[in-house]
Amino acid sequence: MKRANEPDVIANIKAIHPEAVCFMDDYLIYDVAGRPLPEYSSKINTYGFFLCLQGRAEVAIDLMPFSLRPGTLMVNIPGQLITHKNVGNDLRGTCLVMTQHFIDSLALPYNFGMAIGIRETPVLELKPGELGAIQGYCSMVRGLLHGERPYQAETLRHLTCAYAYSLGSYLYQMAEKRKLSGEESIMQRFMHEVRTHYKEERKVQFYAERLHLTAGYLSTLIKNISGKTASEWIDSYVLLEAKVMLKQTNMTVQQISDELNFPSQSFFGKYFKRLEGTSPKKFREG
Residue 70 has pLDDT above 90, yes or no: yes
* pLDDT for position 203: 96
Percentage of residues in the chain having pLDDT higher than 90: 56
Interval 215-235 mean pLDDT: 94
Residue 153 has pLDDT above 50, yes or no: yes
What is the number of alpha carbons within 13 Å of residue 109 lying toward its C-beta?
2
Please tell me the distance from the alpha carbon of residue 87 to that of residue 59, in angstroms, as a whole number: 9
Name the pLDDT band for 3 (thresholds 50, 70, 90): very low
DSSP 63-81: TEEEEE-TTEEEEE-TT-E
* pLDDT for position 1: 43
Please tell me the distance from the alpha carbon of residue 219 to that of residue 205, in angstroms, as a whole number: 10
Query: Using one digit for the tens of pLDDT, what is the confidence trace for 79-96?
Result: 888 888 878 788 899 999
Interval 93-108 mean pLDDT: 91
Residue 274 has pLDDT above 90, yes or no: yes
Residue 116 has pLDDT above 60, yes or no: no
* pLDDT for position 170: 75
Q: How does the average pLDDT of the chain come out, rounded? A: 87
Residue 213 has pLDDT above 70, yes or no: yes
Closest to 43 in 3D by CA, of 17, 74, 19, 78: 78
Q: What is the pTM of this model?
A: 0.82
Please tell me the distance from the alpha carbon of residue 75 to that of residue 77, in angstroms, as a whole number: 7
Query: Using one digit for the tens of pLDDT, what is the confidence trace for 11-63?
Result: 888 888 889 999 988 999 999 886 555 556 788 889 999 999 999 988 999 88
Determine which helix (DSSP H) or strand (DSSP E) holds 221, and give its type and residue range: helix 215-226
